Amino acid sequence: MDELTLLANALMALDDKLAACMKCGMCQSVCPVFGETMMEADVTRGKLTLLEKLAHRLIEDPDAVNEKLNRCLLCGSCQANCPSGVSILEIFMEARAIVAAYKGLSPLKKAIFRTLLPNPKLFGFLLKIGAPFQGLAMRDDNNAQGTATCSPLLRPFLGERHMQPLAKQTLSAKIGAVNSPAGKSRCKVAFFPGCMGDKIFTNVSEACLKVFDYHEVGVYLPTNYSCCGIPALSSGDLEGFEKMVMHNVDVLKEGSFDLIVTPCSSCTETIRSLWPKMAGKMPYKYRDAINELSQKAMDINAFLVDVLKVKPRASGRHGQTKVTYHESCHLLRSLGVSAQPRELIRMNPDYDLVEMKEADRCCGCGGSFTLSHYDLSRKIGQRKRDNIVASGAEVVATGCPACMMQLSDMLAHNGDSVTVKHTIEIYADSLK
C-alpha cells in the first residue's frame, strides 16, 4: 500500500471520530491554553473544526495546520469534561501523525526519535560524555530549586529557562541491573523509571527502590530500557514511537513480574493506553505482547495504596512542614489517581497537607509544548505558581517528573523557596 493511500485511509478514519463532537463549547472553560489566549483556534472545538477539512487545509497551508495542532498541552482537560465522550487525545495524536506524514519530520527530530531515544546504549553514552561538561552550558543560579540557567551562548535557543541538571550518574549506571525475588509482599514488579527517572531525577527512582525494599517487593530492573515513546507520538512520529515500544517489549519479555510500576504518570499512561491503541501496524507478536503488558502498568502511588494496602503508622505527632499537592494531568485524568498520592503524603508525620486552589489545573508543561511555546507555557505555569505560594506551603509535591521540572522553573523565576518533591520521596523519607 503506497503512502498516499495510507494517508487517505488515516484521514477517513479521523473523520469518523470527529462526528461525535457537538461543538457545545464545554471545553472552553477547562482549557489552560484558551484561558490565556482566549482564541477559538486554541480551544478543542476550534481544533476539531480545523480537522474536519484537514486534507484541504494540509494542501493549502501545512505549516499553519501544524502550528495550530501543536498549541495543545494534551492535558486531557477537555476530554475529561466532554459530554459527548469524544476521544479527543486520540484524535489529536492521530492528526499530528497525519500532518507529520504529509510534511515530513525535521532531520533533528528524526535523529532523536528514531536513532537516539530507541537506543539506550547510545543515549547513555552521549549523556556520560556530556554530563561533566554541562557546567559550561549551564550556570548555577543558587536558587532553592537546584536548577541552573543557560549560558549566554545557549540563551538564544533555550531562553531564560531554569533547568534541572543531568544526574552525575544515570540510575542504570549507578544501580545496575536488578532482578530480586518477592519477599513477604508476594509481589514482583518491573520498575520502569522513565527517561527523567533514569537521567535527571534519579533521587525519585532511588526512593522507589527504597520503598520496594522496605515492603519486600521483588524488582525487575534492566539497564536497557528506552523511552516509553510519548515524545515521538506527541510529535506525530509513529515510526519512532514503534521503535521505542518494540525495544521495550523485547526488554520486558525477558523478565517475570506481576506489574509494571512507574513514578511517571506519562509513562504509565503511555504503556497502559497508548501502546495498545497505536500498535495497529506493528507485527502480531508485538501486538499480543503489548496487550498483555499494558494491563500490568500501574502508577507507584496507586500500587502502594491499592495493591500493597500501605497504612499510616499510629503517631501523635503533627507535621510542622506544610506541603501542598499538584495534580498531574495524566495521573488524575488519564489514570484516575488522586486520593492515593495524598494518602502517601499523610503517611509522613513530618508533613501537614494543605490544599491549594486549582490543584487540578495544568501546570503548563505539556512535554514538548514547553519547548515550542515557552512564553505561553510560562504564563500558564505562573498561575500554578501563584496558587502554590498562596497555599502557604513550604513544599509542593506531585506525581510527575515533567511537572516537577515545570514547577521548579516557575518557582525559580519568582525566587520562591518552596521545594518541589515527588510524592514517593515524601513517603520514602518516613520509612526508617
Q: Return the exposure string of 183-207: e unless at least 16 CB atoms fall within 10 Å of the residue's CB, then b.
A: eebebbbbbbbbbbbbbbbbebbbb
Instruction: State the pLDDT at residue 17.
Output: 79
Question: Distance between CA atoms of 136 and 54, rounded to whole angstroms?
Answer: 45
Instruction: State the pLDDT at residue 217.
Output: 98
Instruction: State the pLDDT at residue 224.
Output: 94
Q: Given pLDDT bands bounded at 50, 70 and 90, which one contains residue 7?
A: low
Q: What would the mean pLDDT of 159-165 be, rounded to a whole number?
A: 81
Q: For the whole model, what pTM was predicted?
A: 0.92
Instruction: State the pLDDT at residue 146.
Output: 78
Lowest mean pLDDT among 119-128, 175-184, 303-312: 119-128
Instruction: State the pLDDT at residue 4.
Output: 56
Instruction: State the pLDDT at residue 317.
Output: 63
CB 428 within 8 A of CB 207: yes
Q: Given pLDDT bands bounded at 50, 70 and 90, which one contains residue 385?
A: very high
Cβ partners under 8 Å of residue 328, min gap 6 = 265, 398, 399, 400, 403
Question: Bigger pLDDT: 114 or 165?
Answer: 114
Asked whether residue 366 carries a pLDDT value surpassing 90, the answer given is: no
Instruction: State the pLDDT at residue 351.
Output: 95
Instruction: State the pLDDT at residue 56.
Output: 76
Would you kindly state where each structural domain of the chain is located, as residue ranges?
A: 3-103, 321-430
Three-state SS at 18: helix
Question: Bigger pLDDT: 315 or 235?
Answer: 235
Lowest mean pLDDT among 127-141, 254-268, 346-360: 127-141
Question: Bigger pLDDT: 262 or 55?
Answer: 262
Question: Bigger pLDDT: 9 or 130?
Answer: 130
Q: What percent of the chain has pLDDT over 90?
A: 61
Instruction: State the pLDDT at residue 3.
Output: 57
Question: Distance between CA atoms of 258 and 98, rounded to whole angstroms?
Answer: 36
Q: What is the chain's mean pLDDT, rounded?
A: 89
Q: What would the mean pLDDT of 405-415 be, rounded to a whole number?
A: 93
Lowest mean pLDDT among 6-10, 91-95, 349-353, 386-390: 6-10
Asked whether residue 159 carries a pLDDT value surpassing 80, the answer given is: no
Question: Distance between CA atoms of 277 and 418, rounded to whole angstroms?
Answer: 39
Tell me which DSSP letter residue 395 carries.
E
Instruction: State the pLDDT at residue 315.
Output: 58
Instruction: State the pLDDT at residue 158.
Output: 67
Question: Bigger pLDDT: 127 or 190?
Answer: 190
Question: Bigger pLDDT: 249 or 139?
Answer: 249
Tell me which DSSP letter residue 273 carries.
I
Lowest mean pLDDT among 73-87, 185-199, 215-229, 244-258: 73-87
Instruction: State the pLDDT at residue 152.
Output: 63
CB 389 within 8 A of CB 418: yes
Is 3-103 a CATH 1.10.1060.10 domain? Answer: yes
Instruction: State the pLDDT at residue 24.
Output: 87
Q: Given pLDDT bands bounded at 50, 70 and 90, which one contains residue 411?
A: very high
Lowest mean pLDDT among 88-92, 155-159, 162-166, 407-411: 155-159
Give me the CATH topology for the region 321-430: Rossmann fold (3.40.50)
Q: What percent of the chain has pLDDT over 70?
A: 93
Q: What would the mean pLDDT of 43-66 be, rounded to a whole number?
A: 83
Lowest mean pLDDT among 47-56, 172-181, 251-260: 47-56
Distance (Å) of CA 312 to CA 185, 325, 341, 347: 17, 18, 13, 5
Look-up of cell digits 512520529:
237
